[in-house]
């Protein structure tokens, strides 16, 4: 009994509106692409449905009707309060503001991640230069041999385009995968990020050191100098974001662990997205630029420019309008319906 | 008031309150359904890799330059399938992948909103941690300890996976054969049953057709004696008894409460034609 009506009368009276709303929602997933009048109509139908739902709850209608209205209200709610649709300005704002800011806000853990990567890197490098025994303890001898062979020739001949493409694919798969794993395992109270940063630092340092010890140091450094500013920085950023997850679990500042984690999540997402973009640049450089037959001075000059760009970008971009408040996110469909 | 009285019933639903101060419920998807959806996605990803692998074989057969390029393409596809597949589909299909579509699951934020790109990115990158040490072991343990079955990725991204049952409004229940006067006479006009008890009876009767006769009786026997004792009546067939109870309650609901204090309707409840509730709304 709803108001002065039986359930059946109520359904007969309101059913047409529910069906109309259902049809609007089923016409397509994205309500914001419809015209303004339709969106307004959907919003009005949704509000009246909310009223119906509350009356039905109070009147204890049969469970099937309640479940049907529940489902309809849920879908309408999702459509009307939908997420912001993908917009180009949003992407620009991300690179021009959000990513560098998020990284600077996490500056301390980024510094820790740098230390966790580059100290083992130095240890590996010096250890491998000091003794072959050290290298073979860190990496399998066979892998070291292949590395050394790979860097035994210079870049005079360059590589053919097919190999370049192939290697770019490999770098995307391998390096971005390393960075993502370095990040994701940080959820285990930072332990995973810590391990992968140290491990990758040590292995990379040892590999470089070994190649130098057999006399191809110039080749490997010239090869690495182009993409390293992007690649190594990005891996460290990913590791730093992972550490931030672990840190949010420990330093909860009175919140529950999960709430503390959720509070840090947007900044963490920005850092990992930024790191992934940098790794994409690195993979393209590593596939096509680094192995090219360009003379070493050009590569080293470019490396200097790249390093400077990365540092300036991460340190300075997005500072200018730091005081301006970030606009609150309005429900997309509703705000468009109003305009 | 005891804590027990105010506590939500133990169930796998999550209630969301909207700015309109309306609450509605979602059913949270459990590990079994999600594992099944995962296997479907795994199969889809496997097929993609095999298909691209076959294309790459052609590249290998032609010449060495192309074979390197094919290798690169394969690794790129492997990367996309491993890391991007879920993010791409969940973003494009508003929280669904192929496997989730098959099992009618959807990822939404804890507030019930469709998930955004960054939510999907976080929850799917965290698969690398949930997967550890093998086969999503950590993820399953974390899910088991969370009332909303969230794995690590869901906790970080603030998402839940819901089972989207599109409930249809069913037709009125019919008791076959219709209850006789002898069956109805011992029952009072207003049954001393709570709303929850009536709901439970209705849900049981709607399921009854899908159960075996023995199971039907077994389930009905769990509550029928309780109701019979309360009403001071006897019954022979428990499912039938519940059907008659439902009939009496429903007849009561659709007629006399329309005018609670007025005189009884002329002609009685059963003679009044019912509006077509069943055909009105179906989703």
Rama region for B106: left / alpha / beta (φ>0; ψ in -120 to 50; rest):
beta
Task: Note the pLDDT tens digit of each residue in A51-74.
Answer: 888 888 887 777 778 888 888 888
Residues of chain B above pLDDT 70, percent: 81
Q: Is any Cβ of chain B less than 8 angstroms from the Cβ of A266?
A: yes
* Spatial contact of B31 and B86, defined as CB atoms under 8 Å apart: no
Range of weakest confidence among A140-154, A170-184, A208-222, B44-58: A140-154
Q: List the single residue in A with minimal CA-CA distance to B260.
A: A4
Judged by average pLDDT, the poorest of A324-338, B70-84, B265-279 is B265-279
Per-residue model confidence (pLDDT) at position A325: 47
Amino acid B57: pLDDT: 80
pLDDT bracket for residue A175 (50, 70, 90): confident
- SS3 at position A77: helix
Interface of B with A in 62-101 (CB under 8 A): 64-76, 78-79, 82-83, 93-94
pLDDT in tens, B237-250: 888 888 888 888 87
Q: Given CB atoms, is B135 within the 8 Å cutoff of chain A? A: no
- Assess B261–A contact: CB distance below 8 Å, yes or no: no
% of chain B residues with pLDDT over 90: 16
Name the closest residue on chain B to residue A59, using Cα atoms. B195
* pTM, full prediction: 0.74
* B167 → closest Cβ in A64, A78, A185: A64
- Contact residues, chain A, for B166 at CB < 8 Å: 71
Burial of residue A331, with CB atoms counted within 10 A of its CB: 0-12 exposed, 13-18 middle, 19 or more buried = middle
Q: Is the pLDDT of residue B265 over 50?
A: no
Contacts of B158 in chain A (CB under 8 A): 262, 265
Which residue from B250, B212, B244 is spatially nearest to B228, judged by alpha carbons? B244
ipTM for the complex? 0.78
What is the per-residue pLDDT for A123?
A: 94
Q: B161 vs A151, which has greater pLDDT? A: B161
Residues from chain B contacting residue A87 (CB–CB below 8 Å) = none
In chain B, where are the structural domains located? 28-163, 168-253
Across the range A319-324, mean pLDDT stands at 60
**Torsion sign, CA atoms A252, A256, A257, A258:** negative
The pLDDT value given to residue B8: 58
Confirm or reject contact between B108 and chain A (CB < 8 A).
Answer: yes
pLDDT on residue B38: 94
pLDDT at position A12 is 83
pLDDT at B253 over 60: no
Position A142 scores a pLDDT of: 83
pLDDT tier at A5 (50, 70, 90 boundaries)? low
In the predicted structure, residue A329 carries a pLDDT above the cut 50: no
Confidence of residue B44 (pLDDT cuts 50, 70, 90): very high
**pLDDT at residue number A81:** 76
Name the residue with higher pLDDT: B212 or A165: B212
Selected residue with higher pLDDT from A288 and A188: A188
* Greater model confidence, A323 or A231: A231
Q: Is the pLDDT of residue B173 over 80?
A: no
Q: How confident is the model at residue B267 (pLDDT cuts 50, 70, 90)?
A: very low
Q: How far is CA B265 from CA A10, A122, B261, in A?
A: 19, 93, 11
Confidence of residue A158 (pLDDT cuts 50, 70, 90): low
- Does B115 contact chain A (CB < 8 Å)? yes
Q: How confident is the model at residue A7 (pLDDT cuts 50, 70, 90)?
A: confident
**Least reliable range by pLDDT among A60-64, A162-166, B84-88, B151-155:** A162-166
- Is the Cβ–Cβ distance between A222 and A289 less than 8 Å? no
Residue B98: pLDDT band with limits 50, 70, 90: very high
Question: Of A232, A229, A234, whose CA–CA distance to A302 is shortest?
Answer: A229
- Beginning with the edge strand found earlier in the chain, give each strand of the sheet holding B23-28 in spatial order: B13-17, B23-28, B159-163, B105-109
Q: Do A81 and B94 touch (CB under 8 A)?
A: no
Give A202's pLDDT tier (boundaries 50, 70, 90): very high
A9-15 contact pairs (CB < 8 A, 24+): A9/B275, A10/A56, A10/A61, A11/A65, A11/B169, A11/B275, A11/B277, A11/B280, A11/B281, A12/B275, A12/B276, A12/B277, A12/B280, A14/A48, A14/A52, A15/B280, A15/B281
Given an 8 Å threshold on Cβ–Cβ distance, is B283 in contact with A22? yes
Q: Which residue has the higher pLDDT, B207 or B258?
A: B207
DSSP state of A5: B
b vs e for A14-50, b when ≥16 Cβ sit within 10 Å of the residue's Cβ?
A: bbeebbebbebbeeeeebbebeeeebebbbebbeebb
pLDDT at residue B195 tops 70 = yes
Any A CB within 8 A of B125 CB: yes
Q: Give the model confidence (pLDDT) of A102-152 as tens digits.
A: 999 999 999 999 999 999 999 999 999 988 888 888 888 888 888 787 777
Q: Which two tokens stand for residue B250?
A: 């429903």
Contact assignment for B283 to A268 by CB distance below 8 Å? no
Select the more confidently predicted residue: B276 or A76: A76
A180: confidence class by pLDDT, cuts 50, 70, 90: very high
Query: In this complex, is the C-beta atom of A217 within 8 Å of any C-beta atom belonging to chain B?
Result: no
Between the ranges A11-25, A107-121, B58-72, where is the mean pLDDT highest? A107-121
Per the CB < 8 A criterion, the answer to whether A233 and A310 are in contact is yes
Q: Is A33 an interface residue toward B (CB < 8 Å)?
A: no
Task: Supply the mean pLDDT for chain A.
Answer: 83
Task: Between B44 and A13, name the one with better pLDDT.
Answer: B44
């Amino acid at each position: 009994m709803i108001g002065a009506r039986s359930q059946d009368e109520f359904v007969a009276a309101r059913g047409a509106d529910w069906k109309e709303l259902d049809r609007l929602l089923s016409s397509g997933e994205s309500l914001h692409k419809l015209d303004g009048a339709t969106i307004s109509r959907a919003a009005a139908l949704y509000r009246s449905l909310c009223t119906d739902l509350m009356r039905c709850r109070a009147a204890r209608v049969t469970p099937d009707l309640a479940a049907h209205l529940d489902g309809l209200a849920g879908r309408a709610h999702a459509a009307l309060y939908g997420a912001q649709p993908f917009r180009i300005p949003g992407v620009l704002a991300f690179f021009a503001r959000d990513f560098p800011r998020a990284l600077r806000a996490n500056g301390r853990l980024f510094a820790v991640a740098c230390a966790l990567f580059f100290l083992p890197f130095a240890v590996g490098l010096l250890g491998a230069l000091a003794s072959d025994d050290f290298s073979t303890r860190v990496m399998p001898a066979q892998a070291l041999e292949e590395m050394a062979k790979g860097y035994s020739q210079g870049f005079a001949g360059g590589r053919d385009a097919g190999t370049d493409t192939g290697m770019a694919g490999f770098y995307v798969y391998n390096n971005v995968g390393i960075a993502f794993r370095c990040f994701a395992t940080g959820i285990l109270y930072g332990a995973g990020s810590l391990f992968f940063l140290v491990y990758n630092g040590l292995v990379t340092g040892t590999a470089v050191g070994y190649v130098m010890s057999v006399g191809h140091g110039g080749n490997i450094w010239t090869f690495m100098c182009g993409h390293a500013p992007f690649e190594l920085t990005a891996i460290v950023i990913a590791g730093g974001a992972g550490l931030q997850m672990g840190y949010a679990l420990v330093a909860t500042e009175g919140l529950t662990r999960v709430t503390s984690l959720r509070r840090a999540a947007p900044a963490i997402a920005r850092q990992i997205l930024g790191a992934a973009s940098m790794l994409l640049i690195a993979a393209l450089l590593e596939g096509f630029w680094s192995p090219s037959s360009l003379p070493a001075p050009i590569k080293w000059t470019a490396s200097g420019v790249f390093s400077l760009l990365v540092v300036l970008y991460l340190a300075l971009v997005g500072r200018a309008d730091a005081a301006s408040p970030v606009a609150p996110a309005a429900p997309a469909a509703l705000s468009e319906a109003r305009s | 008031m005891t804590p027990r009285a105010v506590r939500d019933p133990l169930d796998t639903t999550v209630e969301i309150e909207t700015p309109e101060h309306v609450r509605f419920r979602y059913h949270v998807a459990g590990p079994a359904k999600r594992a099944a959806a995962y296997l479907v996605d795994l199969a889809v990803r496997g097929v993609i890799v095999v298909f691209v692998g076959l294309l790459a074989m052609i590249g290998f057969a032609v010449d060495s330059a192309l074979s390197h390029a094919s290798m690169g393409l394969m690794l790129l596809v492997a990367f996309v399938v491993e890391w991007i597949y879920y993010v791409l589909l969940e973003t494009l299909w508003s929280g669904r992948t192929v496997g989730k579509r098959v099992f009618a699951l959807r990822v939404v934020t804890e507030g019930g909103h469709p998930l955004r790109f960054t939510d999907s990115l976080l929850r799917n990158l965290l698969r690398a941690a949930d997967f550890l040490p093998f086969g999503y072991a950590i993820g399953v343990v974390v899910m088991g300890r969370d009332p909303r079955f969230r794995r690590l990725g869901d906790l970080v991204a603030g998402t839940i996976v819901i089972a989207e049952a599109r409930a249809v409004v069913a037709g009125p229940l019919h008791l076959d054969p219709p209850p006789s006067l002898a069956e109805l006479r011992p029952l009072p006009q207003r049954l001393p049953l709570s709303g929850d008890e009536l709901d439970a009876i209705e849900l049981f009767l709607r399921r009854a057709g899908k159960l075996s006769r023995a199971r039907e009786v077994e389930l009905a026997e769990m509550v029928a004696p309780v109701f019979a004792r309360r009403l001071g009546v006897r019954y022979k067939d428990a499912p039938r008894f519940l059907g008659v109870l439902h009939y009496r309650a429903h007849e009561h609901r659709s007629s006399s409460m329309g005018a609670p204090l007025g005189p009884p309707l002329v002609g009685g409840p059963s003679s009044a034609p019912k509006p077509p509730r069943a055909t009105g709304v179906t989703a």
